A and B are shown apart, each in its own frame.
Chain A
């Protein structure tokens, strides 16, 4: 069985007028289904570009990207939209909740548009926020907002959950709670979760750790003994 996510010699070059900026080059890695994968690296290493490409938000310059056997690197704009819509759940660093919608409605915003959504309220219950369903984001704490964001991503029942610095804007305790939620979700539902972070400490919870440095993969290793989030300290 081939890997769930495959990157083959992926390169990405931005063109800024005359200047070419090579954001990624020769990136290759694989992620198995059901794994929690942490992509770690310092700022400017190319993590976000990688995430953009995997999330169907950006195209690559060279190489191939496959998800569940489908080559998304060959998708056109419309196919990419459909890909984001049906295959991917996205969790942002700053939650990106629609301020004008309640927690439940934010979840519904996602479940509205996909083929086989989970019940919004159910998902909200799963992230432990059923009592906050009618609240607007401004009325929620950061952790709660991020949990709503996760619920929004999960409600689409995606194949892949992408998280961009999910704890970046959160304090330690809340951050841990969020990571726990992600780990639990993966373990309970077999969801493949990709977390992007600059925090090395988080790697402990991962099944697979990919280190990115200067636009390429510096190291990829499997972690057979993923630590439960509660035991991680940073």
Chain B
């Protein structure tokens, strides 16, 4: 019956029940989670270490070991396995030209084995697997080369020049991110490489790893005891084997020296004979060349003579050509003159002929013979006419003539044409007239005839003349013909003459050309001969040089051999008893760091969980007390009915007990899973070799369940006992309400009177319920403190890289040189940087061990002359720190703290080859990333006698220059092996740190849950406790908002108070946590940003308001009728 009542109670107040479960789960989860995380981490590591056979002992000796030694050690009592391995550091060049130091190990089967992360294990000797932490899967298939920069001894250790990467591995030997220091390069090993033993060209091992038969859980006392127990026998065996090996080596060396000596003697002999032979050969060759030279000289003379002759011939020919030209010209002009003359003569003749012909043409018109005949006819006619005339005239003169006579006369006349009218009777008168006319005609015809006769005579003379001229012209033509023929003859002769001369000259030309060709041929031949000779000489010189070089090399070799032999002899003589190092796991950095890092979790788990536990217990107690109070009447009734106290109590016990149990179980399981997983993911930054193994600490579970059951049941019992002590009658009466009280503030009327009435109510209410006040403040301040811590951790860690690279390291990048910097190096780099470099300084940077009182830490040593101001800002709490002087050292604060070193202490710095510097600490400076110590160059000079090479350059950029382009330019400069950009480093560190955000998130979530649960619980109690009051003020007419603020104002005030306390708590908690979290090499700046502070406060209020909003629903549901009920 009562049990049913208990379950019904749970159902009716499910919110409260769940709240109790939640707070208990949170408390238990936090506690168990953090507690178990370290166990989980160590367990994970133990399993990993066991599976992969991390050495229990690692043996090193200055003389190495061989297979016999390994077998002997394996046979040792208490040794489970022994395995030899080889390792060496070497330089390799990356694709982008950086030189990196890698550590090569031989792959072993039993000890220090590998776990494959990607790809496969090597199958051939020229294959290797690389560090999964520093290589990505892209590297598979690429090759790793043994750089030429390695010294010969190192290169000789490798069988191949290149090894193909076939897989990525994690090695148990390297548990964390550190890869150790080295004498090479920048002084630190970049990553490891594992390859088959056959990949090395060696016949010995550098170390032997031992696994003991009896060991124990890592970091346990049992383990340490087991290891200590074996120390003596292992050390003895190791020393013995080293001794044996030493003797073997000595013998071998002696034999080798003897062999070498005889070899050397042979070498000398051979050298001498070879030298003689070579010299003879050279002398012969030289003679031959000199002969050749003489011959060439002779031929050269001949050629010169021929050349002179040719020149003469050429000159003669030129003269010949000149006179030929002259003759030709003369001939041509004479011929032209003659031709002109002839043609002129011809012209004249032609003119004459033309005149003659013209004369003939003129004469042709008057036929001279006809003209003569005509003339003769005319003379006859005239004679007739004259005879007539005289007849007539005679007739007439004889006077009167008869008519017959007259007719006879008339007929005569008509016949002569004088009578146009025919034969008429003519009168004497007419006759006289005709006679007269006839006389006149006769006279005229006579004169005409005379003129014609004269003209004819003239023409006859002319014709004669023409014939004469014609004959003359003909004679002229003949003469001309003659002359022409003569001239032609003369010209032909001259031409013949010229042609002969020309032919002669052409022959001369041809002859000369032939001679010139011959000459050229001769010259070419000569040049060839000369070339041949020169080649011969060169060959001779080469041969000589070669022979010289070979000889000198051989000589040098022999000398070297001698020196080596001497060295070997000296070495043999000097050879000391071997040193043996027997190392246990405490020398393995990863192994040791893991222990201290996992201790951090434990340290943190000491504070937080206790706090949560406390709050959870308080909440549980308050809630149960309240619940018992609420059920007072019921208790009274039950008691009146005769139930025993125990029976009544059991109802409440079931309620609180079941809530505790469920909360514990949920919290335990959840915490044991979530916390280790989240924290392991953070540790993954440094370790991350395997997945976390979850452990459930049942003992812890039992203890916690017991503790919570005790708290819950105890509180229930205590509350019930108070109630049950009363008699039933009293119980059934309402409990007299708790009296109101004035608070301290009321005694300050100045303040109190000014407050608003409702605020006064709230304040009085706050102080009325002391228990609630305390819990509220605890819960809220816890929430704020957690938030501040969470955000503060983030602030302190997130900005470490920024602080380091913005406030301390002021340079933009560093340059690593292959050789120590010389005077002109800076100038060279500046030129390479093309004006991007503002300032440049060279220092020495290397890894060195700082020997502390308890611990030895590997640190970064910087040696400089001390003028670093532009590149480094060494300060402590804002105070500038001077660069250490001679015999002094400045060390970083984290290191000082870790090793317990103070200013004024003497410390020892030791290099990997055991050289030491004894220095006094002059100052401690703030530094966040890596450990740094600064030493003056004079210190090294004084203690070592030299200053280590300055191979590192700090570079600052000119304003506005791009760091990457500048770095790329400088990278190309000669002698630069690597450039490391501060910005990149900063980003890398910042990225690493950002993983810690998970922790912060976890803390914020926890804080939120804490605040929500506490607030919800207390507000819930507050409302149920005051339900009548709330109903009453609702009846009084308070609006929903007024009612809410009447109730929740208290929450807000309490939140404000809690938050204020939380700020103080948070700062303390943050400081504590930060002191516990010490990640090796990185120190944190303990600071909380104002924004984080505000954010923490803001979130706290947001949680409060969230709960208020949630509870408002409940508040609105409060029925006013409650006010009418009697007090229960």
How many angstroms from the CA of A115 to the CA of B737 in the assembled complex? 32
Contacts of A99 in B (CB 8 A): 737-740, 1029
Contacts of B1038 in A (CB 8 A): 81, 85, 113
Contacts A82-B1037, A113-B1036, A113-B1038; is A96 near B739 (CB within 8 Å)? no
Contacts of A57 in B (CB 8 A): 1035, 1120-1121
* Closest residue on chain B to residue A52 by CB atoms: B1121
Distance to closest chain B CB from A27 (angstroms) = 18
Check if B1123 sits within 8 Å of A92, measured CB to CB. Answer: yes
* Closest residue on chain B to residue A98 by CB atoms: B1029
Q: Which residues of B in the span 458-486 have a Cβ within 8 Å of any Cβ on A?
A: none
Check if A105 is an interface residue, CB within 8 A of chain B: yes
Check if B758 sits within 8 Å of A112, measured CB to CB. Answer: yes
Check if A138 sits within 8 Å of B1035, measured CB to CB. Answer: no
Q: Which of A52, A84, A96, A137 contacts B1037 (CB 8 A)?
A: A84
* Closest residue on chain B to residue A153 by CB atoms: B1036
How many angstroms from the CA of A96 to the CA of B1124 in the assembled complex? 8
Contacts of B1042 in A (CB 8 A): 113
Contacts A48-B1124, A82-B1037, A92-B1123; is A98 near B1032 (CB within 8 Å)? yes
Contacts of B1126 in A (CB 8 A): 93-94, 169
Check if A130 is an interface residue, CB within 8 A of chain B: no
- Candidate in A110, A114, A136, A152 with the most chain B CB atoms within 10 angstroms: A136
Contacts of B1028 in A (CB 8 A): 96
Check if A90 sits within 8 Å of B740, measured CB to CB. Answer: no
Check if B1037 sits within 8 Å of A86, measured CB to CB. Answer: yes
Q: Which residues of B in the span 734-749 have a Cβ within 8 Å of any Cβ on A?
A: 736-741
Check if A85 sits within 8 Å of B757, measured CB to CB. Answer: no
Q: Which of A82, A90, A136 contacts B1036 (CB 8 A)?
A: A90
Q: Decide if the interface of chain B is mainly helix, strand, loop or mixed.
A: helix
Check if B1032 sits within 8 Å of A136, measured CB to CB. Answer: no
Contacts A94-B1126, A98-B1029, A105-B757; is A85 near B737 (CB within 8 Å)? no
How many angstroms from the CA of A169 to the CA of B1126 in the assembled complex? 9
Check if B1032 sits within 8 Å of A96, measured CB to CB. Answer: yes
How many angstroms from the CA of A55 to the CA of B1123 in the assembled complex? 13
Contacts of A156 in B (CB 8 A): 1036-1037
Check if B761 is an interface residue, CB within 8 A of chain A: yes
Check if B1037 sits within 8 Å of A113, measured CB to CB. Answer: yes
Q: Which residues of B in the span 1077-1128 have a Cβ within 8 Å of any Cβ on A?
A: 1120-1121, 1123-1124, 1126-1127
How many angstroms from the CA of A5 to the CA of B1122 in the assembled complex? 25
Distance to closest chain B CB from A158 (angstroms) = 10
Check if B1121 sits within 8 Å of A96, measured CB to CB. Answer: no
Distance to closest chain B CB from A73 (angstroms) = 17
Contacts of A109 in B (CB 8 A): 757, 761, 1033, 1036
Contacts of A139 in B (CB 8 A): 739
Interface size on B, as a range, is 20 to 34
How many angstroms from the CA of A136 to the CA of B768 in the assembled complex? 13
How many angstroms from the CA of A146 to the CA of B487 in the assembled complex? 183
Tell me how many residue pairs across A and B have CB atoms closer than 8 Å: 95
Q: Which of A92, A94, A113, A136 contacts B741 (CB 8 A)?
A: A136
Contacts of A96 in B (CB 8 A): 1028-1029, 1031-1032, 1035, 1123
Check if B765 is an interface residue, CB within 8 A of chain A: yes
How many angstroms from the CA of A85 to the CA of B1036 in the assembled complex? 6
Q: Which residues of A in the span 71-88 have a Cβ within 8 Å of any Cβ on B?
A: 78, 81-86, 88
Q: Which residues of B in the span 1025-1066 have a Cβ within 8 Å of any Cβ on A?
A: 1028-1029, 1031-1033, 1035-1040, 1042
Q: Which of A58, A112, A136 contacts B757 (CB 8 A)?
A: A112
Check if A100 is an interface residue, CB within 8 A of chain B: yes
Distance to closest chain A CB from B165 (angstroms) = 76
- Proximity bits, B21-58, A CB within 8 Å = 1, else 0: 00000000000000000000000000000000000000
* Closest residue on chain A to residue B1032 by CB atoms: A96
* Closest residue on chain A to residue B763 by CB atoms: A100
How many angstroms from the CA of A54 to the CA of B342 in the assembled complex? 173
Check if A110 sits within 8 Å of B1121, measured CB to CB. Answer: no
Check if B764 is an interface residue, CB within 8 A of chain A: yes
Check if A100 sits within 8 Å of B761, measured CB to CB. Answer: yes
Check if A85 sits within 8 Å of B1037, measured CB to CB. Answer: yes
Contacts of B1035 in A (CB 8 A): 55, 57, 84, 90, 92, 96
Interface size on A, as a range, is 35 or more
Distance to closest chain B CB from A101 (angstroms) = 6
Check if A108 is an interface residue, CB within 8 A of chain B: yes
Contacts of A164 in B (CB 8 A): 1124
* Closest residue on chain B to residue A158 by CB atoms: B1037
Distance to closest chain B CB from A147 (angstroms) = 17
* Closest residue on chain A to residue B766 by CB atoms: A100
- Candidate in A78, A83, A113, A137 with the most chain B CB atoms within 10 angstroms: A113
Contacts of A152 in B (CB 8 A): 1036
Q: Which of B739, B760, B1031, B1037 contacts A138 (CB 8 A)?
A: B739
Distance to closest chain A CB from B669 (angstroms) = 40
Q: Which residues of B in the span 980-1037 have a Cβ within 8 Å of any Cβ on A?
A: 1028-1029, 1031-1033, 1035-1037
Check if A167 is an interface residue, CB within 8 A of chain B: no
Check if A101 sits within 8 Å of B761, measured CB to CB. Answer: yes
Contacts of A88 in B (CB 8 A): 1037
Contacts of A183 in B (CB 8 A): none
How many angstroms from the CA of A109 to the CA of B1046 in the assembled complex? 11
- Proximity bits, B70-106, A CB within 8 Å = 1, else 0: 0000000000000000000000000000000000000
How many angstroms from the CA of A138 to the CA of B1127 in the assembled complex? 14
* Closest residue on chain A to residue B760 by CB atoms: A105
* Closest residue on chain B to residue A108 by CB atoms: B757
Contacts A85-B1037, A94-B1127, A113-B1037; is A138 near B737 (CB within 8 Å)? yes
Check if A197 is an interface residue, CB within 8 A of chain B: no
Check if A192 is an interface residue, CB within 8 A of chain B: no
How many angstroms from the CA of A25 to the CA of B918 in the assembled complex? 106
Q: Which residues of A in the span 125-156 have a Cβ within 8 Å of any Cβ on B?
A: 136-139, 152, 156
Distance to closest chain B CB from A165 (angstroms) = 9
Contacts A84-B1037, A110-B1036, A112-B758; is A101 near B764 (CB within 8 Å)? yes
Check if A102 is an interface residue, CB within 8 A of chain B: yes
Distance to closest chain B CB from A156 (angstroms) = 8
Q: Which of B768, B1123, B1124 contacts A100 (CB 8 A)?
A: B768
How many angstroms from the CA of A92 to the CA of B1124 in the assembled complex? 6
Q: Which residues of A in the span 42-60 have a Cβ within 8 Å of any Cβ on B?
A: 48, 52, 55, 57-58
Check if A102 sits within 8 Å of B740, measured CB to CB. Answer: yes
Contacts of A136 in B (CB 8 A): 739-741
Contacts of A113 in B (CB 8 A): 1036-1038, 1042
* Closest residue on chain B to residue A162 by CB atoms: B1035
- Candidate in B737, B757, B1035, B1120 with the most chain A CB atoms within 10 angstroms: B1035
* Closest residue on chain A to residue B756 by CB atoms: A112
* Closest residue on chain A to residue B1028 by CB atoms: A96
Contacts A82-B1037, A94-B1127, A108-B757; is A101 near B1121 (CB within 8 Å)? no
Contacts of A55 in B (CB 8 A): 1035
How many angstroms from the CA of A137 to the CA of B736 in the assembled complex? 11
Contacts of A110 in B (CB 8 A): 1036
Check if B740 sits within 8 Å of A100, measured CB to CB. Answer: yes
How many angstroms from the CA of A138 to the CA of B764 in the assembled complex? 15
Contacts A93-B1126, A98-B1029; is A84 near B1036 (CB within 8 Å)? yes
Given contacts A85-B1037, A109-B1033, A109-B1036, 15 further A-B contacts (CB under 8 A): A48-B1124, A84-B1037, A85-B1036, A92-B1032, A92-B1035, A98-B740, A105-B757, A109-B757, A109-B761, A136-B739, A136-B741, A138-B738, A156-B1037, A164-B1124, A169-B1126
Some 23 contacts from A to B, beta carbons below 8 A apart, are: A78-B1039, A83-B1037, A84-B1037, A85-B1037, A90-B1035, A96-B1028, A96-B1123, A98-B740, A98-B761, A98-B1033, A99-B739, A99-B740, A101-B764, A109-B761, A109-B1033, A113-B1037, A113-B1038, A114-B1037, A136-B741, A138-B738, A139-B739, A152-B1036, A156-B1037
In the A-B complex, the 7 residue pairs with the smallest Cβ-Cβ separation, listed nearest first, are: A85-B1037, A138-B739, A136-B740, A84-B1037, A96-B1032, A100-B740, A57-B1120
